[in-house]
């Protein structure tokens, strides 16, 4: 699996816009078909044909008028028909956080004028990218286009489909701690102490906000990271076990099977066999 960092066409710009066919002209189909972990926001607006890209190894059906949104850290690989085309917006530096610890694709049907409004902003961004403005002016214009695009695509509206309401500070602090320390050996008590909350307060807040306990939330995130790492051909099961803090691969195997119903090796073999 490739780890794809942010490489803008002009240093410092926060937004890129290109078509699917332009992307195919730059990147070989074999690379696009393989799992890639992206480190930026990606919005894909289908304009022609059909496709079934996979996000975190879960397929998404795309057709004209449908939007696919992929968050930084998610894994994506592409399976599209020859007549497929789309407009892609790649961006960084945004406050957009559609779902906490997302897994799988977020697909949204744009209706009415929403499609035209999205294309309008993409057109503006393309003009700015080609403009001869100074770097400072171009950065300001593209940052504004990025934020307007996020609004028009519904990525900043709390309560919209797929968009989480703001979480209580204790729950968000817990999530941030888990995200920064993907270590299966850390207890909820350790995490609660490090973020300045009692275990009881944290447990109550997590239950009220998410319906799940802190341990369940932590296990969910570590299992998600395990699947993402196992999607990399270069990562053996033992490598993933060590990366997530398990003392022994057998402990990791038991955890993974409890969370997914299959062993890490079987999951890896099945996913890479389908993806490559």
CATH number of the domain within which 87 lies: 2.60.120.280
E strand or H helix at 108: strand 106-109
Considering its fold, how many domains does the chain have in total? 2
| 159 falls within a domain | no
**Residues 239, 123 share a domain:** no
**Whether the predicted pLDDT of 14 surpasses 90:** yes
| 173 falls within a domain | yes
pLDDT at 100: 63
Q: What percent of the chain has pLDDT over 90?
A: 61
CATH number of the domain within which 269 lies: 1.10.10.60
**Residues 112, 79 share a domain:** yes
Contacts of 170 (CB under 8 A, 6+ apart): 195, 197, 201, 202, 205
pLDDT, average across residues 124-137: 91
| 164 falls within a domain | no
**Residues 114, 19 share a domain:** yes
pLDDT at 233: 82
Last residue within a domain, chosen from 122, 152, 182: 152
Q: CA 25: distance to chain centroid?
A: 24
**Residues 191, 122 share a domain:** no
Rounded CA separation 199/196 (Å) = 10
**Residues 86, 40 share a domain:** yes
| 203 falls within a domain | yes
Q: CA 180: distance to chain centroid?
A: 16
**Residues 229, 198 share a domain:** yes
pLDDT at 135: 86
Q: Which residues of 228-241 are buried (b: 16+ CB within 10 A; e: fewer)?
A: bbbbbeebebeebb
Rounded CA separation 142/121 (Å) = 10
Q: What percent of the chain has pLDDT over 70?
A: 93
pLDDT, average across residues 44-69: 92
**Residues 224, 262 share a domain:** yes
111, with CB counted inside 10 A (0-12, 13-18, 19+), is exposed
**Residues 134, 17 share a domain:** yes
pLDDT at 142: 95
Q: Which residues of 140-149 are buried (b: 16+ CB within 10 A; e: fewer)?
A: ebbbbbbbbb
**Whether the predicted pLDDT of 2 surpasses 90:** no
Rounded CA separation 204/67 (Å) = 36
**Whether the predicted pLDDT of 276 surpasses 50:** no
**Residues 144, 174 share a domain:** no
> Are 115 and 154 in contact, with CB atoms under 8 Å apart?
no
**Residues 104, 36 share a domain:** yes
**Residues 225, 147 share a domain:** no
**Residues 176, 73 share a domain:** no
pLDDT at 81: 84
Name the phi and psi angles at 90, rounded to 5: -110, 130
pLDDT, average across residues 2-21: 86
| 238 falls within a domain | yes
Rounded CA separation 178/172 (Å) = 10
pLDDT tens, position by position, 141-177: 999 999 999 988 888 765 555 555 678 899 999 999 9
| 29 falls within a domain | yes
| 241 falls within a domain | yes
Q: What is the DSSP string of 164-181?
A: PPPPPHHHHHHHHHHHH-
| 183 falls within a domain | yes
Look up the domain containing 136 and give its range.
2-152
User: Within 10 A of 176 (CB to CB), how many other CB atoms are there?
Assistant: 12
pLDDT tens, position by position, 224-260: 999 999 988 888 999 999 999 999 999 999 999 999 9
pLDDT range class, residue 274, cuts 50, 70, 90? low
Q: What share of the chain is helix, strand, coil (3-state, %, to 5)?
A: 45, 15, 40
pLDDT tens, position by position, 177-220: 999 999 999 999 999 999 999 999 999 999 998 899 999 999 99
> Which of the pair, 27 or 148, is modelled with greater confidence?
148
**Whether the predicted pLDDT of 108 surpasses 60:** yes
pLDDT at 263: 97
């Amino acid at each position: 699996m490739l780890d794809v960092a942010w490489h803008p066409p002009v240093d410092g710009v926060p937004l890129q816009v290109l078509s699917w066919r332009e992307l195919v002209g730059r990147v070989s189909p074999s690379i696009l078909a393989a799992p890639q972990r992206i480190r930026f926001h990606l919005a894909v607006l289908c304009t022609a044909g059909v496709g079934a890209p996979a996000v975190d190894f879960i397929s998404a059906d795309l057709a004209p008028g449908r939007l696919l949104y992929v968050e930084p850290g998610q894994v994506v690989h592409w399976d599209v028909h020859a007549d497929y085309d789309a407009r892609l917006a790649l961006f960084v530096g945004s406050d957009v956080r559609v779902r906490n610890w997302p897994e799988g694709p977020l697909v949204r049907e744009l209706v009415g004028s929403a499609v035209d409004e999205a294309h309008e902003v993409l057109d503006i961004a393309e003009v700015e990218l080609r403009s001869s403005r100074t770097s400072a002016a171009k950065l300001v214009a593209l940052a504004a286009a990025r934020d307007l695009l996020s609004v028009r695509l519904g990525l900043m509206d709390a309560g919209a489909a797929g968009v989480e309401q703001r979480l209580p500070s204790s729950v968000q602090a817990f999530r941030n701690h888990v995200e920064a320390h993907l270590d299966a050996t850390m207890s909820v008590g350790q995490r609660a102490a490090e973020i300045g909350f009692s275990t009881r307060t944290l447990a109550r807040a997590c239950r009220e906000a998410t319906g799940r306990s802190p341990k369940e939330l932590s296990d969910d995130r570590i299992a998600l990271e395990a699947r993402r790492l196992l999607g990399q051909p270069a990562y053996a099961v033992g490598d993933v076990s060590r990366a997530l803090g398990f003392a022994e691969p057998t402990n990791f195997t038991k955890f993974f099977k409890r969370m997914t119903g299959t062993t890490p090796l079987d999951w890896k073999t099945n996913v890479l066999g389908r993806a490559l």
